[in-house]
Structure 1
Amino acid sequence: MTLASICVNPCKTISGIWHWHLTMCTNFPEYPLVFQVVQQEIQRL
């Protein structure tokens, strides 16, 4: 049993188009930091 799971991550390209990527997610320490950056990006829209 691993902590990894499938997550859908939105990624914005240079052209400003949102793409959705299926990636492997694990419980790693920097995840809250990544989430914070994503939240800031969403607020900028």
Structure 2
Amino acid sequence: YFHFKNDSRYFYKALLHIFMLFHNIYFSIVSNNRLYAGGGP
């Protein structure tokens, strides 16, 4: 049970890192599109 608990914690931590990565990519794409459209930050 303790081993499973550690595995789930690692899984959620990895999931959080993936979510942050995709959020950063999405935010950079949106800000780049706004720049190309001529809008400010």
Structure 1 length normalisation: TM-score? Answer: 0.37
Q: Which has the higher contact order (CA 8 A, sep 6+)?
A: 1
Higher helix share: 2
Q: Which has the larger radius of gyration?
A: 2
Higher strand share: 1
Structure 2 length normalisation: TM-score? Answer: 0.40
